[in-house]
Structure 1
Amino acid sequence: MKVLCLWYATEEEKNFISARLPAGTEVVAPEGNYLSRFDCEYADVAHLAPDADAILAFSVPDGILQVCDNLKMFSWLHSGVDDLGLMGALDLFKNRGVKLANIRGANAVAVAEQAMMFVLALAKKTLLKHQATEEGRFLFPLYADEYRSAMLHGRTIGVIGIGNIGGRIAKHAKGFEMEVLGVRRSKEGQPVEYVDTIYGIDQLHDVLPKCDYVVLATPDTKDTHGFIGAAELAAMKRSAFLINVSRGMLVQEKPLYEALTSGQLRGFATDVWWQYNYGQTFPIGWGSRLGIHKLPNVTLSNDQAANADDVLQRNIQWGTENLAEFLAGQPMKREVRLELGY
């Protein structure tokens, strides 16, 4: 059995993976000069790919999956698999019978902490007050609407997507004595600890008007892509904040810009951005073509929520666990349902 790491894995990482797989498993990785060791050049990996039985990957060079003639299992070292869908990998896996697993939950602690950081930063006007203090300005008059902080205590937070990340956000929110409303694909099913009331996605418009904070923690699927638009933003309180720690394409960019600049929405924070792909949009790139990142009521980072202590090691560990389960003929607890995209 040959396992291919699609990044410039260190000897320590390869040894870690090998030690957790059956004896005789060959673990290989590209070698060469690189800009980022978590990407890899097609030329550095093409000779390793055709007979690989399984792949561990943070990223995928264009064209490499098409030459993986022996591939049986793919372990994706991320939670969301929508990027794989955009490159056609999900269809390829369906057609070839390749099993796919992800590492959902591996970064849940870090991303949930980032979400609460955003909630607090927006509520407490952290950036505004930092900048004013740095510049030696007093925010006067005291208690003016534009300077007064919002509160978390006794307020309502809506968590859209109450899986590994959303469940932790709910737990943290309870530490501030907030009411937690959860939204998932269906309201039916098991209760979720720390969530006071669970709604189905078809009840989203019943939830939004109740919330002082709305946090998006759901995958980007055919059901959620662009599902926050003008009608949803209009349903929210004018005093509400929107936080996105999931995928940029969940929110329609133009309605969000209009809500933030018209006063319909009090503030927005995000770690994820819109992607403009050549042939689908113009110009190509990422960010906000409307300059949402420059608005005064916006707090942001760029894909940094999971860039935290312990996360890289856990990513590799859980990705390796997927492989170990597959090789042992056991059900993979993090297997992705290709028809659903998560």
Structure 2
Amino acid sequence: MLLQIMEEPELPVLLVNEVGGALGVLEAHVPFLKKHFHLITMKEFLESKEYFSAKIKAIYVWWHKPVIDEELLKSLPNLKVIANSGVGMDHLDLELISGFGVKMASAPYAVSTSTADIGMALLLTAARKLVEGCQIAVSPDTEQLPINWLGDDISGATLGIIGMGSIGYKIAQRARAFEMKILYHNRNRRKEDEELIVGACYCQKIDDLLQQSDFVMLVVNLTPQTYKLIGKRELELMKPTATLINISRGPVIDQDALVEALQSGVIKGVAMDVTYPEPLPRDHPLLKLKNVIITPHLGSKTHKTAYMITEEAVENILAALWGLPMPSEVFPG
């Protein structure tokens, strides 16, 4: 790799954690990345730090790796931009990175469709009791399928969406097709014509949404303001027949309060694509409850979306290196 860099200096050098494996960029994306960059893995960088330090212009953070800390930033004097493979930036110290004069980008456009899909998938799975139904159907002990195995209709039910950005709005579009009543709470109200298109009603107070909804979907970024947004008080405002769905970040919910609410019947159930930590410890009480559905952060994990994320990252990196406006630039604060 070092020889290749010396022979072909015209492409900017991009640092990635590794190629392939559990913590690396996908091997299928490497040919596309190599059209625009010389790829350097963290292992190669650490082995030849003196040579590569001044050459690396950009970092592609794929599923939180590599870890961006002060030591790494100090070792890369010509670093211009860091592109993240998702919309959530809570794993990055934005103030620290900005302090080094490095620009940052997320991938909000790439992930919105598939994340909205997983939100509706979890809603349907919880409402129609698909996980338990599958277990009954495949169990060696099943001799007769129960005729009294009943789920809930979502048609006509009320969905409360907390966070009406691009993902939340796409959930509203899908929910409208299922003939659901849609409430939403957001920092800023949507335009009236956007509300009319999906039939959504704005709730200025989150309490009003919680009290009226049969399903509550969390679609917010993790910030100091949304940390443990849903706690004991909020859970007790919900209907005892309601289901909570989280496709944002685990710490948006107070998990201790959630366990208590699920055990005591304060709410009917929860379906989560995110937890904290990920994965949960194997003895965590949430894993022992029957009214819990957990998936392993599948929101944007489709072949098409993963490739779109990489395309969006490349577009942002190249824009930063060429001094052009970045389509998905993220600012601290």
State the TM bucket, normalised to the shorter chain.
0.7 to 0.9
- Compute the TM-score of the two structures, normalised by the length of structure 2: 0.83
Instruction: Kindly provide the amino acid, as one letter, of the partner of residue 84 in structure 1.
Output: L
1:117 Cα offset (Å): 1.1
1:243 aligned partner:
245
Give 3-state SS (helix, strand or coil) of 2:189's partner.
Answer: coil
1:332 aligned partner:
326
1:325 Cα offset (Å): 2.2
Give 3-state SS (helix, strand or coil) of 1:82's partner.
Answer: coil
1:266 aligned partner:
268
User: Which residues of 2 match residues 166-181 of structure 1 at below 5 A?
Assistant: 166-181=168-183
1:280 aligned partner:
none
Contact 2:115–2:299 (Cα < 8 Å) also in 1: yes
Alpha carbons of structure 1 residues 265 and 98: separation in structure 2 relative to 1, 3 Å: same
Hey, what's the Cα distance between the residues in 2 that align with 1:232 and 1:212? 14
Contact 1:155–1:212 (Cα < 8 Å) also in 2: yes
Alpha carbons of structure 1 residues 241 and 329: separation in structure 2 relative to 1, 3 Å: same
1:333 Cα offset (Å): 2.4
1:215 Cα offset (Å): 0.8
Residue 69 (structure 1) aligned with residue 73 (structure 2):
no
1:109 Cα offset (Å): 1.7
Alpha carbons of structure 1 residues 186 and 254: separation in structure 2 relative to 1, 3 Å: same
Contact 2:61–2:85 (Cα < 8 Å) also in 1: yes
Contact 1:29–1:45 (Cα < 8 Å) also in 2: no
2:7 aligned partner:
none
Contact 1:157–1:211 (Cα < 8 Å) also in 2: yes
Q: Which of residues 122, 128, 147 is equivalent to 1:124?
A: 128
Alpha carbons of structure 1 residues 91 and 321: separation in structure 2 relative to 1, 3 Å: same
Alpha carbons of structure 1 residues 290 and 42: separation in structure 2 relative to 1, 3 Å: farther
Hey, what's the Cα distance between the residues in 1 that align with 2:268 and 2:45? 46
Deviates more, 1:322-331 or 1:305-314: 322-331
Structure 1 or 2: larger helix share?
A: 2
Hey, what's the Cα distance between the residues in 1 that align with 2:28 and 2:274? 31
1:162 aligned partner:
164
Instruction: Kindly provide the amino acid, as one letter, of the partner of residue 29 in structure 1.
Output: I
User: Which residues of 2 match residues 55-204 of structure 1 at below 5 A?
Assistant: 55-58=59-62, 59-61=65-67, 63-85=71-93, 90-135=94-139, 136=142, 138=144, 142-143=147-148, 147-187=149-189, 191-192=194-195, 193-200=197-204, 203-204=205-206
Alpha carbons of structure 1 residues 287 and 331: separation in structure 2 relative to 1, 3 Å: farther
1:8 aligned partner:
18
Cα deviation, 1:236-291, whole Å, max 9, x if unaligned, reads: 01100001111000000111001111111111011111129xxxxxxxx7458642
After TM superposition, where is structure 1 displaced by more than 6 Å over at least 4 residues in a row?
Answer: none
The number of residue pairs the alignment matches comes to: 308
Instruction: Kindly provide the amino acid, as one letter, of the partner of residue 162 in structure 2.
Output: I
Instruction: Kindly provide the amino acid, as one letter, of the partner of residue 76 in structure 2.
Output: C
User: Can you give the 5+ residue segments of structure 1 that lack an aligned partner in the other structure?
Assistant: 32-39, 277-284
Hey, what's the Cα distance between the residues in 2 that align with 1:188 and 1:109? 19
Instruction: Kindly provide the amino acid, as one letter, of the partner of residue 305 in structure 2.
Output: V
Cα deviation, 1:173-224, whole Å, max 9, x if unaligned, reads: 1111001112211236564542511234xx1111111100011111100110
Alpha carbons of structure 1 residues 6 and 238: separation in structure 2 relative to 1, 3 Å: same
CA RMSD of aligned residues (A): 2.6
1:36 aligned partner:
none
User: Can you give the 5+ residue segments of structure 2 that lack an aligned partner in the other structure?
Assistant: 1-10, 20-25
Contact 1:241–1:266 (Cα < 8 Å) also in 2: yes
